[in-house]
Chains A and B, each alone.
Chain A
Amino acid sequence: MRPALQTRLRRAAAPLLFLLLCVLGAIAAQITPEFILRELLARFARNALLVLSLLIPILAGLGLNFGIVIGAMAGQVAAILVTTWGVGGIAGFALACAVAVPVAVALGILTGLLFNRARGREMVTGLIAGFFANGVYQLVFLFALGSLIPFHVHELLLPQGYGLRNTIDLTGIQYAVDDLVRVQVPLEGQLVRVPVATFLVIGVFCGLSLLFQRTKLGQELRAMGQDAHVAATAGIDVDRNRVIAVVISTLLAALGQLLFLQNLGTLNTYSSHEQVGMFAIAALLVSGATVSRASVGQALLGTLLFHTLFVVSPLAGKALLGDAQIGEYFRVFVAYAVITVALALHAWQQAHHERAAQRG
């Protein structure tokens, strides 16, 4: 049955509002569509997989997985390792993925077990777990590496002799996937890279996500997302499946971060991962997705819209108020506000349902 017109309109309200904001900003800053297209090509390819990594925990009823930051760290560990080994190109990227998988799976299992102990507050636990993991990451790479853990690539170390440098050049794996199929298109007199292979990878993961939802496991997760108690009564091992959902999410986030880094070409060792969760989640939510309901299409649409605003906002701030900084503060505010509204709406509806259930 198709949802009623009213429901569909309500779902479209968020992306439409956002689109309006982008268009107004673009008009104010007199930005050409070509400019936006050029910026979006790279940004979309960089971020789409990170946004996709959020879908499966939502399906399983875990809400927004703020713990994908931990997956991003796993990806960075792999990127650092292949750089020290000096393996470049697509082989280096493949090796990085191979290294990232076991790290992400192990961290995903830990995160999943943690979430099982914090039922009903997975989101805040995921957020704090990300902060905690960041501290451990710093302990390892800023203090232990080169002092407790032997490390001999001195170009990557800080002058004090231990700890990784704040920025690491990933020239070895830069554009490894983006340029696998080299396509460049002239836009506004400049040659612009079209990352065909990256889009293909994203397409494959979209397809896999859709296929996954039809498998037995996917159906079990959906049942858990609708009602965990009923699912448990029906013989589904809820605890185990929740861990699996978090592992898949963490793994996708690790690969997503690797795709992100191969495009960027530099790693900010201690900050590249910090805002991954916030931006991916805000991007998903602007498409009209909610804490309990999100689709592959919404993930892609949200990535496009959110990053359009990211491009437009500082320029619009400069054009309208003479200060790009205001635009930058504004886009951060939009990211936080979008998440706040989505969380509040979700909790509001949940409380409403519970009250209705108590009465009935």
Chain B
Amino acid sequence: MSDVAPAAGEDAERARPLDTAVEFVRELGVPRLLIAVFVVALFVVAAVTHMDLGRLVTDSLSRVARNGILVLALLPAVQGGLGLNFGLPLGIVCGLLACVITMNANLSGWLGLSLAALLGAAIAVPAGLAYGWLLNRTRGQEMMVGTYLGFAVVSAMSVFWTMAPFHNTQLVWAIGGHGLRTTLTLTGFYDRLLDKLGAFRLFGVEIPTGTVVVFLGACVVVGLLLRTRAGLSLSAARSNPRFALAAGISDEHTRVQAAVASTVLAAIGIVVFCQSYGFVQLYTAPLLMAFPAVACLLIGGASVTRATLAHVIVGTVLFQSILTVALPVTSQVIGGDISETARLVIQNGMILYALTRRGEP
């Protein structure tokens, strides 16, 4: 970015205001602008119709914090040249498995939560290694292989959840005494533990401090890691594999590192998601989770080959706000719930836009 900025500045001085505006729109991207306008419009409608704005912002904020790390998990994959990691469910089921194991052992509170995150990350390392190995052998089709690997793993885990030897009565079906329930409630374990940590009210908005801090903290950690030697070689190998090889960096290694980082973050991300949501959803729930996360990243301004921390944060805020605010606002205005349909159109329209953009390296 920095090497383009001076030239653009010179042009802007000579250009007429209209050109500057066009340039600004091009820089931002038409879909991004439309979505930002849409978010603002939703809030304006909410304000005009005297809805509880504080409530809406509270809900948006808690959903942003809840989903943040799952979106962040996509960043190393894009930086490492793996494209959009539709294989996110692989990491997600690692996290879910960790949640179930810790809950089965009756671990609750901070111990339960931190052990679940640690264990999830630990399970995700070998899973990510295998995933990276597979993606190295299927170059050029990473997104498709990732998508279907994710689907296959989620459905294999569905068989596992019904047959696994868990016996804690809070987790298994009451009838028959075996097979995990589809939704496990975290009440009494670590329900909203991070959300409540240091939570405070500001202008009628409740800030889920703990989860926000964890999300931003994870962003900082990932940002710092990407600036280390390993992180820099990751993007170097992505942008020019042959040049990197001449400098002693094998992109086979960096791509595996990227897959592991992405999978580990997804595992931690789902643990944070579950504590904030209050439930652990098993079986088919993780099947389509990668798609909204990918849409967040793209709405933030990322492309298939380039993403930054700013894209993660901006995208998550924009998309999750739409999802939160669209339901109450549309039901107020048109009397029906159009939010799920709007989500399908926006989310997949955004991914299509990114996949079909020309002039990408």
Contacts and interface: CB of A to CB of B under 8 A. Distances in A.
Given A121-B144, A128-B355, A336 B348 contact: no
Interface string B335-361: 110100111110111011001101000
Contacts of B227: none
B345 A132 contact: yes
Given A128-B348, A128-B352, A323 B141 contact: no
B252 to A, nearest CB: 12
A343 B355 CA distance: 19
Contact of A333 (B156, B341, B344, B358): B156
14 contacts: A114-B352, A117-B358, A121-B144, A125-B355, A135-B341, A138-B341, A143-B334, A163-B336, A330-B159, A332-B155, A340-B152, A343-B148, A344-B137, A344-B138
A103 to B, nearest CB: 19
In the A-B complex, the 9 residue pairs with the closest CB atoms: A135-B344, A347-B138, A347-B141, A135-B345, A132-B348, A333-B155, A117-B356, A336-B152, A340-B148
A351 B283 CA distance: 34
B158 A131 contact: no
Nearest to A340: B148
A53 B60 CA distance: 44
A332 B345 contact: no
Interface string A335-346: 011011001101
Given A132-B348, A135-B341, A329-B155, A344 B291 contact: no
Interface in A100-149: 114, 117-118, 120-121, 123-125, 127-129, 131-132, 134-136, 138-139, 142-143
B303 to A, nearest CB: 13
A333 B338 contact: no
Given A132-B352, A348-B138, A124 B159 contact: no
Nearest to B338: A143
- Which of A120, A336, A339, A346 has the most B CB atoms < 10 Å from its CB? A336
A339 B137 contact: no
Interface of B: 86, 134, 137-141, 143-145, 147-149, 151-152, 155-156, 158-159, 162-163, 179, 283, 291, 334-336, 338, 341-345, 347-349, 351-352, 355-356, 358
A30 interface: no
Interface of A: 114, 117-118, 120-121, 123-125, 127-129, 131-132, 134-136, 138-139, 142-143, 160, 162-163, 321, 323, 325-326, 329-330, 332-333, 336-337, 339-340, 343-344, 346-348, 350-351, 354
Given A132-B349, A343-B138, A348-B137, A127 B147 contact: yes
